[in-house]
Every structure is written in C-alpha cells, then in structure tokens.
Amino acid sequence: MPQNFLACDREQSFLLPPDVREWLPENHLAWFVIDAVGVMDTSGFYAAYREDGHGRAAYEPSMMLALLLYCWSRSVRSSRAIERACMEDVACRVIAAHQQPDHATIARFVVRHERALGELFGEVLALCADAGLATVGVIAIDGTKVHANASRDRTIDYEQIARAIVEEAIATDAAETAVHGERRGDELPEIVATTRGREGWLRDARQRLDQQRAERAEPVPRARPPRLLEAKRRLEEDLCVEREANANFEAYHRRGVMRDGRRMSARPKPYTPPATPQGKINLSDPDSKLVHGMNGWVQGYNAQAVCNEQHLILAAEVMTASPDFGHLGPMLAAARTELAGAGVGEAPGVVVADAGYWHLEQMNAITGDGITVLIPPDSSRRKNKPKRPGWDGGAYDFMRSVLASDLGGELYKQRGQTIEPIFGDTKHNRGFTQFQRRGRSAVRTEWRLMATTHNLRKLHQHFNRPTG
C-alpha cells in the first residue's frame, strides 16, 4: 500500500474559498479590528477629503485605518512591510479587500491624519470602558525612554553650529573658485552681454519665430491689453490706506491711548536674548533630548503611561525632560480627562509611582482631591547613601511608615505588576524601541497609536478568554 499524503497541487487555479469571510475564523483579530473601526468616530479622517469627489479616487479611510491598527497590533509598523503584507498576509488581504496600497500612500496617510490617529486612543478606551476594563481602583504611573529617529552625535552646541557654517562656507567658496575662477559664475553669455548684442539676438529670434509660424500657417496671437496701470493704481490706493492707518496708530500711541479710548498700560520690556545661545540641539530631531535610560544616555523621549490593574493604558503622553519629576500631576490629569471622555467619571482610588515622581506640591494637590498617593521618598540608588537635609520628618517619614505597613506594601507592590509588563511587552515583544518619525507631535501620535493597539488587543483577549 503506498504512502498516504494530502495532495499539494500548486497548479490548481484557486486554492482559497471565493468568499473572503471564509478565509479567517470569526474570532480572528482582523475581523475584530474591522468591526471596531466600524463603530468608531472616524469623521476626522473623512473631513480631510473633498466632498465634491473631484480628483483621483483615494483609498477608503476606514480600510486604511483598520489596516494600520491591525499591522501595528502585529508589530508591523514599517510602511513597506505593510505593503508587503497586503500581498503576502491573508488577514491584511481581507482587511484591504485585495487592494494593495503602496508604502508611499500608507506613509502619507499617517502624516496627513496625524492628529486624528492620536485621537483614536480615546475611542478605543471608550470601548474598553464599556466592556468593564477601565477600572480605577489602583492606577500606576511610569515612564520609559524611547530612542528618537536621530543620532546622538548630531547633538551640538552654538559654537559647533557656527564652526560648521563657517567651514561649509569656506568649502563652498573653494569649490566655486575651482569651477568659475575669477568670474562670479552668473555672467551672461557674450552674445547677450551688451545692448547691441541683445537687440540683435532678440531681433533674429523674432524673425525665426515668425518664419516658423508662417510655415505652419498659424495666426499671429494678439497681445493682451496691458493691465500694469490698473495694478499700479490699486497698489497705490492700498499703500495710502496703510500709511493712514499707521499714522493714526502712531498718533494714538503718542497720546498714550488706544483707538477705543482706553489708556495704554506700560509696555513690557522686550526679551533680550543672550549674546551666545545656551544649551545644545539635535540637528536631526530638534525636539528630542538626551535622556537617561536603563543602559545609559540616549537621544530620545520620555514616554509616559498610566495603567490600571487590568493592564489597560489609561493615558499616554510624551515628555522631553529626562527625569520623571514633575510629571505626576500632568499624567494623572491626562488620565482623568481620557476617562471622562470614555464615560468613566469615577476618580482613581490609589495612585502608585516610583521615587522619581516624588513632588510634594503635586502630591498634596492630589491627596486634596481624596486620592491616595503612594510614592517612596527613597529610590533604590539612594537608600544606602547618606540622606540630604530635609529628607527626614513630615511627609517623608509618614510615607515610609505607610509603605512599611502590610496594606501599603501590598498596594505599592502592584506598581511593578501592572505597568512594567506593559513596557516589557511593548519594547521587547512588539519591538517598539525607536520612533519612526521626528518631532514631538509625530512621536506623540506614534506612542498613542501603540497604546491604542495595546488596548485593542486587550479588548480582543477579553472577549476571547476561556470561560468557566
């Protein structure tokens, strides 16, 4: 009896079912993303296109949006990789309905709808809140350093920039001298350098054009009536109006009153910049800064996140400052704003963060709203170091006693169990270690898009978890 194998006939004309709904199981993430996009508010995407339908047809924004969300959920962020997936990946072919947008179209879609893509975070958070995932019993705040799309070696100061400009000018002058010699390089040819030469060349050119037109039997075009006088008259009228307005303003200013009769207050002193600008700037991404990560200093951003016990991200923002000091209040306010937009009006019960977020003014303001804050005053690096003056007594000793209690220790222990796995999954499993685009607005959209797809996956897992 011969061996028994399933047939593998690559010459078969059609291997897949004719209906794309049979290509993937019903509980697949692709179908979930398509249905989720169908209930989102995507008016911001459609508002960017013409309503009259003129011009070349564009890809359906909902299709492009579902394609981006699914690919980012699968750790595919490159526009060229997404283009390949539209040909090779069955799920992407189902989402795109056999269409294959090229990488330039995908990249332009992200740039064109940058603001709308960032606002999708609230839409997905509302869906998670409706599913009961947006709990606010204990929330954790933390940040992670993400590389910018810039080289650290491109960070230079004012003197280095000035030196580079001078060196480039010297090199440009040397290159132009080698090509043009003693000439400027913009001299006219000898045939049109003089008045007689220009008149002769133009006269000959006109004769040649008339002869060619006569050979083709074309009518001589009539010259348009000159409109220079009319344009000059309108320009003079505008200048007269502007001079009159400036004269009236100067008269009011000399009297110390404004046009509506109110007295003018003392004019503020203008800002006087320093003779030499201070600090450094990165020429590749001026918004990025030198931030301290786990493995040393990197050129990048401080990506902040707020999450709850369900490992759901409640807020995602991008900061340029390396330390986490001062970000406690803004991140909690961002989380409460996002939750309010998602229909969750309940205030958080407990807020936990590491020692880098210790900020007495912000902590007092938060506790004044009835929210418990647990932040250790001593980090792991300075526990064994001598304490500075002011680190004892008051809120410092009180927080140490709270964290030393059983309840306080159990609550603070949830910080590492909630937000650290999110950063580990985002950076190690999903490969998000560097931003693709440049500028704080662009990287904020990327970070929020990563948080959006994280919450979308959590929502999909919530409905597909085993029961019983």
Query: What's the predicted TM-score (pTM) here?
Result: 0.77
End-to-end CA distance of the chain: 47
Boundaries of every domain in the chain: 20-112, 122-151+286-451
Q: E-assigned strands of 336-458?
A: 350-353, 372-374
- The pLDDT of residue 243: 72
Distance between alpha carbon 295 and the CA centroid of its chain, in Å? 25
Instruction: Answer for the pair 96, 123: CB distance below 8 angstroms, yes or no.
Output: no
Q: Which of 380, 416, 376 is CA-nearest to residue 398?
A: 376
Instruction: Answer for the pair 446, 288: CB distance below 8 angstroms, yes or no.
Output: no
Measured CA to CA in angstroms, residue 259 lies from 238, 268, 278 at distances of 21, 19, 41
3-state secondary structure of 392: coil
- The pLDDT of residue 265: 57
Task: Spell out, as residue ranges, where the chain has pLDDT lower than 70.
Answer: 1-17, 218-232, 241-242, 245-268, 380-393, 466-468
3-state secondary structure of 23: coil
- The pLDDT of residue 245: 67
Supply the angle between the helices 114-130 and 29-39 in degrees, to the nearest 10.
Answer: 100
Long-range contacts of 449-452 (CB under 8 A, 24+ apart): 449/68, 449/72, 449/117, 449/118, 449/120, 449/121, 450/72, 450/316, 450/426, 451/121, 451/305, 451/313, 451/316, 452/69, 452/120, 452/121, 452/124
- The pLDDT of residue 393: 66
pLDDT in tens, 357-396: 999 899 999 999 999 999 998 776 666 665 665 566 678 8
- The pLDDT of residue 464: 81
- The pLDDT of residue 80: 96
- The pLDDT of residue 154: 87
The pair of three-digit structure tokens given for residue 87, joined into one six-digit string? 């040909």
The pair of three-digit structure tokens given for residue 154, joined into one six-digit string? 């491109």
What is the four-CA torsion angle of 402, 403, 407, 413, rounded to 10 degrees?
A: 160
Torsion sign, CA atoms 132, 136, 137, 141: positive
